[in-house]
Chains A and B, each alone.
Chain A
Amino acid sequence: MVPLSWYLALSAVLFTIGAVGVFVKRNVISIFMCIELMLNAVNLTLIAFSSFYKEASGQLFVFIVMTVAAAEAGVGLALVIAVFRNRESLNTDDTNLLKL
């Protein structure tokens, strides 16, 4: 039997790695992937608690989080394509103004 704290620790480590990635990455798509990593870490926490409490709500939250993540990825990548079309670059340093 794996203790609950191990799952939470793994989740914390993954979340921190994702947060650091958002800080240090320059490429929009890489930043996006780091956000997905953080979402996955939170999902692990929810499922671990749900499984240890034997309470289905946490897993339903994860289900909804996955749907929202899918919607977010769709819209976000469309934005990335639109930005790339205008600026020919994915570097966040080149995209520091809202106007063209």
Chain B
Amino acid sequence: MMEQAFFLILAAFAVGAALSVIIQRSPIYSAFSLIGVMACLAATYIMLKAQFLGAVQLIVYAGAIMVLFVFVIMLLNVRKEENTLDKHRYLWLLALPFAATLIVEVLYTILKVTSDFTSLPEMAKRPIIGDSQSIGYGLFTSYLMPFELTSILILLAIVGSVILARREKE
């Protein structure tokens, strides 16, 4: 009961902050709202007993990626988004039915799928898996190949972003 109340509070905060991301005109406020969403999601991960990923969410997403966003926004000195939405009112007319379809579809599927979900008895006996030990074990046994490929991807991203953002010399 307590847990459900806590979840509802977190969910309300997350949805509110997510709405704020798309309603705010100024990108810097959007970025701060997105940090709020990520903090709520980190708390949700911890509720799901995925403590390690909760910490990684805060450190990597809220700590590193969003700092990069805020840094670029401030570097480029982005002013408020001009009021181009009036020019593109048809986009709202397009987006709202799209969103309604998407949400109804997804919620219908969720209700259909999860109605017979909790009836798997052998799941209750398995140990808890959210700690860093089980994640590290998985990463270095069955998922070793993706893990190593990820390091190559990161290397490519570093080189690529340096080349893209470099100022060309005449």
Contacts and interface: CB of A to CB of B under 8 A. Distances in A.
Contacts of A62: 50, 53
A40 B147 CA distance: 20
Given A16-B102, A17-B15, A34 B47 contact: no
B81 A54 contact: no
A56 B95 contact: no
A85 B72 contact: no
Contact of A36 (B19, B65, B162): B65
B153 A67 contact: yes
A73 B111 contact: no
Interface string B54-88: 00110011001100110011011010011011001
Contacts of B4: 1-2, 6
Interface string B15-58: 10011011000010011001001100100110111101100110
Interface residues of B, number: 87
A77 B110 contact: no
Nearest to A67: B150
Contacts of B57: 43, 66
Contacts of B18: 13-14, 17-18, 37
A24 B97 CA distance: 13
Nearest to B8: A6
B102 A54 contact: no
A57 B161 CA distance: 30
Interface string A1-13: 1111111111011
A26 B75 CA distance: 19
B27 A29 contact: yes
Contacts of B134: 56
Contact of A81 (B7, B72, B114): B72
Given A6-B7, A17-B19, A51-B49, A71 B154 contact: yes
A75 B157 contact: yes
15 contacts: A2-B3, A2-B4, A6-B7, A10-B15, A24-B88, A29-B73, A33-B34, A33-B69, A47-B50, A60-B139, A72-B157, A73-B69, A81-B164, A85-B167, A91-B81
